[in-house]
Chain A
Amino acid sequence: MAQYTFIASRDPFESRESEHTMSLAGELRRSGHEVTVFLVQNGVLGARKSSGSQGLSKLAREGVRILADTFSLKERGIDHARLEDGIEPAELDLVVDHLAEGRRVIWH
């Protein structure tokens, strides 16, 4: 089992490419890998409860760990209470943890 961390920096309402990344994350999870999606910058806009966040919620239910950068949330005035179910606020330190652990960290 490999460990993957996707850093999702793009606004999912602006680019459909985010869907492809989430699709890949889901496929890797269903293939038995450990997968984390870390939302950062405008990527956190998709973490708010909305029709656009249901895909993330579904990934979380499948076992993908979905995290949203606290700094990016604060920059955009998004309170943690507005996050979709299954999405947790997290510090960017976690990405450095994953790099140091040798996980496969992929920027999108």
Chain B
Amino acid sequence: MSEKKKITVSIMDGPFENARTVTALRLIDIAARRGYDITVFAYEGAVSLAFVKQTAHANAVHGRDAAEEDHPLPREWIAALLQTATANGGSIDWINCGLCVDERGMSEAIPGTRRGSPADLLKAAEAADGTLIIGTR
């Protein structure tokens, strides 16, 4: 039986801003479906991805109420990823950089995520089979 794979992904972009977020979550989803152990280190604006108070809204331009608009919320995507990993025998350790959280007042994150430091990223990278750092450029 082969040893379970571990990968680490670091992301920096805030929600609703850049396609990098979608690509990062797609990568994490693929690894979660494989049952990998995944560490995600969210820093700078990316600590907002798991912010618990993200709220769907209506869109008057579209003429839709909140339910019809069905606005996508990254916190829901992350919750789904956590469930996918567990269901496939893997795990996601989603770490929000504490300094970045404090700067932005983003201390309320969804269950299953935690606060950490760049030292956690270093440890995760050292333990991982592969690490991908996704910057903002």
Residues of chain A touching chain B, judged by Cβ–Cβ distance below 8 Å, are 7, 9, 17, 40-42, 71, 92-93, 95-96, 98-103, 105, 107
Contacts and interface: CB of A to CB of B under 8 A. Distances in A.
A107 B132 contact: yes
Contacts of B67: none
Given A96-B7, A96-B31, A102 B129 contact: yes
B23 A96 contact: no
B34 interface: yes
B134 interface: yes
B11 to A, nearest CB: 10
B131 A99 contact: yes
Contacts of A102: 129-130
Contacts of B34: 96
A100 B20 contact: no
A40 B25 CA distance: 14
Nearest to B4: A100
A93 B129 contact: no
Nearest to B36: A100
A103 B130 contact: yes
21 contacts: A9-B20, A9-B23, A40-B23, A41-B23, A92-B27, A93-B30, A96-B34, A96-B36, A99-B7, A99-B132, A100-B31, A100-B36, A100-B129, A100-B130, A101-B129, A101-B130, A102-B129, A102-B130, A103-B130, A105-B131, A107-B133
Taking chain B's interface residues, is the majority helix, strand, or loop, or is none over half, making it mixed? Answer: mixed
Contacts of A41: 19-20, 23
Interface string B124-137: 00000111111101
A105 B5 contact: no
Contact of A107 (B5, B19, B36, B134): B134
Interface string B7-43: 1000000000001100100110011001010000000
Nearest to B128: A99
Nearest to B34: A96
A40 B135 CA distance: 15
Contacts of B135: 107
B8 to A, nearest CB: 9
A7 B30 CA distance: 16
Contacts of A9: 19-20, 23
Interface in B88-131: 129-131
